[in-house]
Amino acid sequence: AQSVTQPDIHITVSEGASLELRCNYSYGATPYLFWYVQSPGQGLQLLLKYFSGDTLVQGIKGFEAEFKRSQSSFNLRKPSVHWSDAAEYFCAQGGSEKLVFGKGTKLTVNP
Amino acid sequence: EAQVTQNPRYLITVTGKKLTVTCSQNMNHEYMSWYRQDPGLGLRQIYYSMNVEVTDKGDVPEGYKVSRKEKRNFPLILESPSPNQTSLYFCASSLQTPGQQFFGPGTRLTVL
């Protein structure tokens, strides 16, 4: 069965610092991968997605993610974090019938 | 405006009292799904629907029912709610699967 692992439950960074959130997916020759963000009290918003092609994908709010098949990873990055990036981030893998989510990484941003 | 709407947004009820959470999308999406979100567990899929009159169980379907009589609506039914169904529920839709899912704002349910 598909599974998505986000190894870090909680990450704290200082404003202006760089960020990398890790995500590993279970299997799939051509995985469909997503990163969603959930701000406190809000629904989920898509940051970016990877279906095929260029392994470095750009998303909204200055985020990017890199697909590495050899490592079964799809890590999310941002060069300089803003206080408004504090939220919970979910990696997800899409299959033929459903989306499987990781358990999320909560990001705290210190001033 | 393209959106997924859910009602109610907040609900407090008692054990055993049947309830329905409605979900509607205006994007003509074929795929719709329900998730529950619990602390430390992320989002888990309850039921999904690939199209009208086609529904299937997700990972945690026990205690829930759904129906898909129209393309735009996908209500979640709790016939006899129990306290372990206290959770935050999200409805989502996408044009097809796998694809970008658009999420509703969520329904926070408390079962006493």
Summarize pLDDT for A10-38 with one digit per residue, the tens.
999 999 999 999 999 986 666 889 999 99
- B105·A42 Cβ contact <8 A: yes
**How is residue B19 written in tokens?**
């309830």
What pLDDT is attached to residue B95? 87
Optimal mutation site among A99, A100, A103, A105, interface B, most CBs of chain B within 10 A: A99
For position B84, what pLDDT does the model report? 96
Q: What pLDDT sits at residue A79?
A: 97
> In a structure prediction context, what are the per-residue pLDDT tens digits for chain B, which is 112 residues long?
889 999 999 999 999 999 999 999 999 999 999 999 998 888 999 999 999 999 999 999 999 999 999 999 999 999 999 999 999 999 999 987 767 889 999 999 999 9
Q: How confident is the model at residue A99 (pLDDT cuts 50, 70, 90)?
A: confident
Instruction: Phi first, then psi: give them for residue A61, nearest 5 degrees.
Output: 60, 25
DSSP-derived letter for residue B73 is B
CB-nearest partner of A49 from B45, B100, B106: B100
What is the per-residue pLDDT for B98? 66
In tens, the pLDDT along B92-103 reads: 999 877 678 899
Q: Which residues of A touch B49 (CB under 8 A)?
A: none
Beta strands in B2-104 (DSSP E): 4-7, 10-13, 19-25, 31-38, 42-51, 54-57, 65-66, 76-78, 87-94, 102-103
Q: What are phi and psi of B36, to 5 degrees?
A: -120, 145
- The average pLDDT across A65-80 equals 95
Q: List C-alpha distances in Å: A19 to A16, A64, A109.
A: 9, 10, 10
Mutate which of B55, B101, B107, B108 to disrupt the A interface (most A C-beta within 10 Å)?
Answer: B101
Q: Which residue of A has its CA nearest to B48?
A: A98
pLDDT attached to residue B2: 84
pLDDT attached to residue A56: 96
Query: Do B98 and A45 count as a contact with CB atoms less than 8 A apart?
Result: no
